[in-house]
Structure 1
C-alpha cells in the first residue's frame, strides 16, 4: 500500500472512532457530542500512535462554513423584536458579559504557557463552537481553547437545572410542547447551507472579513433568515454533526504531550475562573430582570454564560419566556463572535503600542 493509501486508511479509522465516540456522548447527553467525539478520537490518535495526522484543509474549511450557517440561522424577526423592546438593558448586559469573560480569561495569564489571546478566547462566554473554530486563525492555542470552552459548557449544563430549581423555584414540565413544524425539509436545508456557505465565503473574502469561512456564512444565513428567503430552512442535523466532528478532529490531532500537560496544569485556575464567571453572570441576570420586568428566572437563563441549546431546552421545559431568553443569548453569541477578531488584534498589540 502506498503512502497516500496509508494516510487515507489512517484518516478513515480516526473518523470511524470519532463517530463511535460521538454516538456514545450523545447517549450520555453531553453537549455537542460530535465535537467531543472528534476531539477525543483525534487526541487518542495524536498521542497514542506514531506519525502526524491532519484533517484536509478543504474539510476543515467546509466545517467552518457549516457551523457559521448554523449560528446565523438562529436569528429571526421575533428574536429581534424581543431585543428591540429592551435594547439598552440587553446591550449593556451583553457588553458586561464580554468584559467579565475577558477578565476571567486574562486571569489565565497567571498560568505559564498561556498567552493573553488564548486565555481570553478560552473563557469568552457564548458561541463556544465558533470561538474554537476561529481560535487558530486568530493566533490562539485552539487545544487549550477547546478544552476550557467545553469545560465551561459542561459545568453550565450540569449546574443550570439545579440552580433554576433550588434558587429560582423552577419546576419541570411547565413548558409548551415542541412544535411539530420541522421546516421545509432536508433538501431545502442542504440548498440553504450550500448557498449561504458559498456566498458568505466569497463576500467575506472580498471585504476582507476576519475568519471569513465562519463569519461570512454566519452573516449570510442571518440575512437570508431575516428577509424570509430561507422559509425556515436550517442546516440538516447530520450535516451539522459532521461539521462539528471535523472541527473536533482538527483540534484533537494537533495535541502533543507537552500541550496536554499545559492544559492539565491550567485546569484548577480555569475551574475557579469559570465558576466565578457563572456567579457574576447570574448577577447580571438579576440586573437584566430588574430593568426589563422579566422574571428573575428568565434573567438568569438569558445571561447564563454558555450552553445555548441546553439553556433553551431548560427554558422550554420549565415554562420560562423562551423568546426573551433566546433573544439575549443569540445577541450575545453574535457580539462575541463578531468582536473576537477585534479582541485578538487588541491582545496581540505590542506593549505600549
Structure 2
C-alpha cells in the first residue's frame, strides 16, 4: 500500500515523462481494441475508465501534457469539419425544412433536460448544457474545460445517453423495423499505418498539420469558445465544403489515438468525491437521457410521416448518440448513410456552436473552476 502511495506522489510524477505517456497510450489503445466488439465507442470509453481507475486509486495523479490535450482537441475539430459533405447535403435538400425544425426542437428539449438537472440535482448550468446536448459527445467532453464546465460530469452524462442509444438501436432496428436493406458497399479496413483518409499519406499528414495549426491560430484570434477545437473545425469544414482540399481527415490509427487521448484525459480528472457525486445524480441523468432519446425518436417518426423517408433512416439521423457510433450502426444495417451522416453532422455543427452561446447567455461568464473537485 505504501509503495502505491509513493508511486502516487512525487516519485510517480517524475516517471511519467514522454516515454511513459507513450506506453500508457499504447496500453489504452490495445484495451480499446479488445473491447471494440462489446463496448460502444470503446476507444474513448475504455481509456476513460482506465484513467478513472488510475486516478481514484492514486496510481496516477497527473493529467497528460498540455501539448497532447490541446493537440487532440485540434485534431478532433479537423475530423468534425470533414463530416460536412456538400454532396450529402444536396441529397437531403428537399427535406431541409422538417430536418431544421427537428434540430431546433431537439436543442430545446436538451435545454429543458439541462434545466431540470440544474434545478433538481445541483449541477451547474454549463455542465448540464454540455452534458445533455444531443450529438457530438466527444466535442462536448473535449470543450468542457474551456467553457467552464466539469468535463467529468459532462462525460458521464454524455456516455450514459450514448450507451443507452447504442444498446437500444440494434434491438429497435431488428425487432420493430423492417429487415436490413441492401445498398451499402463494403467497408475498407484501414491498415495500421493508414493515418489520414486519403491515399497520399505524407501529403495528407502535412495538410492535416497545416489545417490544425491554422485553425488553432484562427480560433484564438477570433476568440472562439474552445478555440483549439472550434477553429480547426471551421477551417476543415470550409475546405471540405468547397472541395479545395481533401484526404486529410484523421483516420485509422491516428483517429484511434485521438479518441484514446480524449478519453484518458477525462478519466484522469476523476476522484473518489467525483464518483460519489455522480452516484447521486445518476437517477435524474438516466431519466433525462431516456426523455431526450424518446423525444428524438418521436421527431424521427414525425419526419418519416411527412417526408416518406423510412423510419429506420430518420431514426438513425435524429438519434442523440455520438455520430461515429450512429454512422457505424447505419453502415452495418445498410441504411441511407448520406442522409444520416449529413443530418448528424449538421446537428453536430449546430450544437457545437450553440452550446457555448447558450452557456454565455445564461451565465455571462464561467462561474466555476472546472478543475475543482466537486
Considering the TM-score relative to the shorter chain, is it more than 0.5?
yes
State the shift of 1:230 in Å: 2.2
Query: Contact 2:316/2:330 (CA < 8 Å) preserved in 1?
Result: yes
Query: Contact 2:32/2:47 (CA < 8 Å) preserved in 1?
Result: no
Summarize the alignment of residues 42-61 of structure 1 with structure 2, pairs less than 5 Å apart: 42-49=51-58, 52-61=61-70
TM-score by length of 2: 0.85
Let me know the Cα RMSD of the aligned residues. Answer: 2.4
What is the rounded CA distance, in whole Å, between the counterparts of 1:151 and 1:186 in structure 2?
36
Mean Cα displacement is larger for which, 216-225 or 290-299?
A: 290-299
In structure 2, the residue matched to 1:335 is 350
Q: Of 159, 162, 177, which aligns to 2:185?
A: 177
State the shift of 1:69 in Å: 0.6
In structure 2, the residue matched to 1:23 is 30
Summarize the alignment of residues 179-328 of structure 1 with structure 2, pairs less than 5 Å apart: 180=188, 183-328=198-343
State the shift of 1:236 in Å: 3.2
Residues 313-338 of structure 1 show CA distances to partners (whole Å, capped at 9, x for unaligned) of 33233332211111111110110101
- What SS does the aligned partner of 2:238 have? helix
What is the rounded CA distance, in whole Å, between the counterparts of 1:333 and 1:22 in structure 2?
26
What is the rounded CA distance, in whole Å, between the counterparts of 1:176 and 1:218 in structure 2?
28
TM-score by length of 1: 0.90
Mark the CA change 1:267 to 1:175 in structure 2 (over 3 Å): closer, same or farther.
farther
In structure 2, the residue matched to 1:155 is 164
Q: Of 9, 27, 34, which aligns to 2:15?
A: 9
Query: Contact 2:28/2:260 (CA < 8 Å) preserved in 1?
Result: no
Mean Cα displacement is larger for which, 108-117 or 84-93?
A: 108-117
- What SS does the aligned partner of 1:229 have? coil
Query: Contact 1:31/1:307 (CA < 8 Å) preserved in 2?
Result: no
State the shift of 1:55 in Å: 1.9
What is the rounded CA distance, in whole Å, between the counterparts of 2:10 and 2:214 in structure 1?
33
Query: Contact 2:118/2:125 (CA < 8 Å) preserved in 1?
Result: yes
In structure 2, the residue matched to 1:126 is 135
Query: Contact 2:84/2:345 (CA < 8 Å) preserved in 1?
Result: yes
Residues 174-223 of structure 1 show CA distances to partners (whole Å, capped at 9, x for unaligned) of 34222559632432331232111011111111121111110110111111
What is the number of residues matched between the two proteins?
Answer: 347
Query: Contact 1:302/1:325 (CA < 8 Å) preserved in 2?
Result: yes
What is the rounded CA distance, in whole Å, between the counterparts of 1:63 and 1:312 in structure 2?
21
State the shift of 1:229 in Å: 2.5
State the shift of 1:126 in Å: 0.7
Correspondence 1:72 to 2:94: no
What is the rounded CA distance, in whole Å, between the counterparts of 1:216 and 1:119 in structure 2?
24
Mean Cα displacement is larger for which, 175-184 or 250-259?
A: 175-184
Mark the CA change 1:124 to 1:312 in structure 2 (over 3 Å): closer, same or farther.
same
Query: Contact 2:118/2:128 (CA < 8 Å) preserved in 1?
Result: yes
Mark the CA change 1:265 to 1:4 in structure 2 (over 3 Å): closer, same or farther.
closer
What is the rounded CA distance, in whole Å, between the counterparts of 2:34 and 2:54 in structure 1?
23
Q: Name structure 2 gaps, 5 residues minimum.
A: 1-8, 190-196, 366-374
Query: Contact 1:18/1:40 (CA < 8 Å) preserved in 2?
Result: no
Mean Cα displacement is larger for which, 24-33 or 256-265?
A: 24-33
In structure 1, the residue matched to 2:105 is 96
- What SS does the aligned partner of 1:177 have? coil
State the shift of 1:110 in Å: 4.1
Query: Contact 1:14/1:42 (CA < 8 Å) preserved in 2?
Result: no
Mean Cα displacement is larger for which, 135-144 or 28-37?
A: 28-37
